[in-house]
A and B are shown apart, each in its own frame.
Chain A
Amino acid sequence: MRYSYENVASSVVAVRHSHWFTSVLSLKTSMPLRAEPKKKKKVDPRREIMMKERLKKKLKRLEKVPPELIPIEDFITPAKCFDETRIRDAPKLCFEESERRALLLKEWSRYKYSQHQTEMDTINEALEAQRQALDELKLESEELYKAALSPDMDLFPFQHEGPSYTPPVTNYDAPEGKYNDVTRVYTQ
């Protein structure tokens, strides 16, 4: 037992005597750590400048290319439509049927024309009424007239949903679920 203690003591003493082991109890530091910090050479700022220039050149090259529009899937006909096995000829109509269709088209065009006419008439009447009102207003006061002519910015943004055959039912217990947006993201 004593022998081991003596050995340990001697080894500790031996360690203290060698100059490579500065301290046993404190942190063990190696040679590179204890060396002086590297001197900042002049190459470093130049290297940074070079890096920046390279990045700017890359940026210039990328900016030269104009941005591309995202392709719209609506306007691309699906491949299924080009399948030649699904083409069929138009059905052959009898004389009365074709006559009936032509007369129906004429009726329809007459109906749409009258619709369009009534619409244009209402627009023109409204415009005329507006013009008369504005004239009267001008006679009344110049300021109000100018205010009436100026565009109203409070309207933007304006949203309106169209009428629906099946409006939402009150107190409807909807099943649980969620919506996932799976639009394809295009990158240039």
Chain B
Amino acid sequence: MNTLLNKVLLLQNTQALVCAVSSVQSQLLTTHMALGVLLTNRQYRSMPTHGIGKYRHLLPKALPKKKKDRVQVKQIKAATATEFGVFNVCVSGYDMTLVEHYSQYIHNLCNHLDIKVDESYALPTKSTEVMLMQEQGTKMYLDAVLKTHERIVQISEMKATLFPIFMDVVLKNQPEGVRFCVKQHSETDFQARFKTRPELEGLLAKINN
């Protein structure tokens, strides 16, 4: 046992000596040579000071920065025996505040009733020019420019039993001048949000021809 201890001590001593020597050497070398040439961060894994100076594991994990929040193409879930698939609740009207507040109300109601809301987005505004015929003469003149705003709340996996109650509540609270519409979500609806790409379509037509 004694011999073992002695051996261990000897080992430790030699290691300490080696460390000392190396540190002295490294000091000497660093003083003589240029900085940054011999800066070694050697890990002394058997020493109790192993890992001294590490701090990166204590910082909060910084996720790699996402390049852009691209709108992902999600698979449209079909309806099951007791639940609806993905459907869009579309609120549209001329008055933006009413439309927005109504869509927010619907969203909050869904949150309260534990209805899963996939997405809540706005469709681009449509501008309509109202041209009226003049009383005398045949010329048309511009009367007004009406802007139709649209907001969509996309709901998925809603229980079929809850649906009529939900519709009742939502219709009871419908403000004036706002059109409420429910329809199934389709690929065309999804593609309507994106800009048209005439070059791509032209190329596809050429290749097919």
Contact = CB atoms under 8 A, between A and B. Distances in A.
Interface of A: 52, 55-56, 58-59, 62-63, 66-75, 119-120, 122-123, 126-127, 130, 134, 146, 148-153, 155-165, 175-188
Q: Which among A146, A155, A186 has the greatest number of chain B C-beta atoms within 10 A? A: A155
B1 interface: no
Contact of A178 (B79, B122, B131): B131
Given A59-B207, A73-B125, A146 B81 contact: yes
Contacts of B195: 67-70, 186-188
Contact of A149 (B81, B130, B133): B81
B122 A187 contact: no
Contact of A158 (B70, B127, B143, B181): B181
A179 B140 CA distance: 11
Nearest to B84: A151
Interface stretch (B11-19, B26-34, B196-204): B196-204
Given A66-B70, A67-B197, A182-B127, A163 B176 contact: yes
Contact of A187 (B124, B160, B196): B196
Contacts of B79: 151, 153
A165 B95 CA distance: 14
B112 to A, nearest CB: 8
Contact of B126 (A120, A122, A127, A181): A181
A70 B160 contact: no
Interface residues of B, number: 60
A177 B125 contact: no
A152 B140 CA distance: 47
Interface string B59-79: 000000000001100000001
Contact of A157 (B168, B184, B193): B184
A69 B143 contact: no
Given A151-B160, A179-B129, A162 B177 contact: yes
7 contacts: A69-B193, A70-B124, A155-B182, A157-B182, A160-B180, A179-B130, A183-B124
B58 interface: no
